């Protein structure tokens, strides 16, 4: 999809787009559905008149995972090496190949946002669930 207002700088495009959107549209872009509603873990409606595509989010720390368990065709989930494994290899070529392969897979399956792991920065997650991810050193 072409960039809206390609003749403007990124900052000017963003400012212009935000100024022409009704108040409800920015909320629509950050409030979507997911977890079983489709094969994606998240979906937010785009704004076609401004060339803003739908956001189709999928988990991706180790590869594409089909979320709509009852509607996923067999063989749609993959398992790439973890980011920690790739990082620990200190091999820039392997890291680039890993990223390109995973990006191509997500793109070819219709996902345009790849979610990744979080880093546990709270030592004591009192009163709630901590985002899963690599644990900090003790």
pTM of the predicted model over 0.75: no
Number of helices (H), then strands (E), belonging to the chain: the values are: 4, 3
Domain boundaries, the chain: 10-115
Closest CA to 111 of 8, 12, 34: 34
pLDDT for 138: 45
Q: Which is it for the CA torsion 134, 74, 100, 50, positive or negative? A: negative
For residue 57, what are the β-bridge partners? 42, 113
Q: What is the pLDDT along the chain (138 residues), one digit of tens a residue?
A: 566 667 778 888 778 777 777 766 777 777 777 666 677 888 888 888 777 888 888 877 788 877 666 677 667 778 888 888 888 999 999 999 999 998 898 888 888 888 876 555 555 556 555 555 555 554
Dist CA 56 CA 33 (whole Å): 10
Q: What is the DSSP string of 96-128?
A: HHHHHHHHHHHHHTT--EEE-------SS-TTS
Where residue 84 falls (left for φ over 0; alpha for ψ -120 to 50; beta otherwise) is alpha
């Amino acid at each position: 999809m072409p960039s809206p207002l390609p003749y403007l700088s990124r900052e000017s495009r963003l400012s212009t787009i935000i100024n022409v959107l009704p108040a409800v549209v920015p909320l629509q872009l950050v409030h979507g559905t997911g977890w079983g509603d489709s094969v994606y873990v998240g979906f937010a409606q785009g704004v076609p008149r401004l060339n803003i595509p739908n956001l189709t989010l999928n988990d991706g720390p180790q590869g594409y995972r089909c979320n709509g368990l009852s509607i996923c065709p067999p063989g749609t989930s993959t398992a790439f090496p973890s980011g920690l494994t790739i990082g620990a290899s200190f091999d820039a070529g392997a890291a680039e190949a890993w990223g390109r392969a995973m990006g191509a897979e997500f793109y070819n399956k219709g996902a345009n946002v790849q979610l990744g792991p979080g880093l546990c920065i709270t030592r004591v997650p009192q009163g709630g669930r901590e985002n899963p991810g690599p644990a900090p050193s003790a």
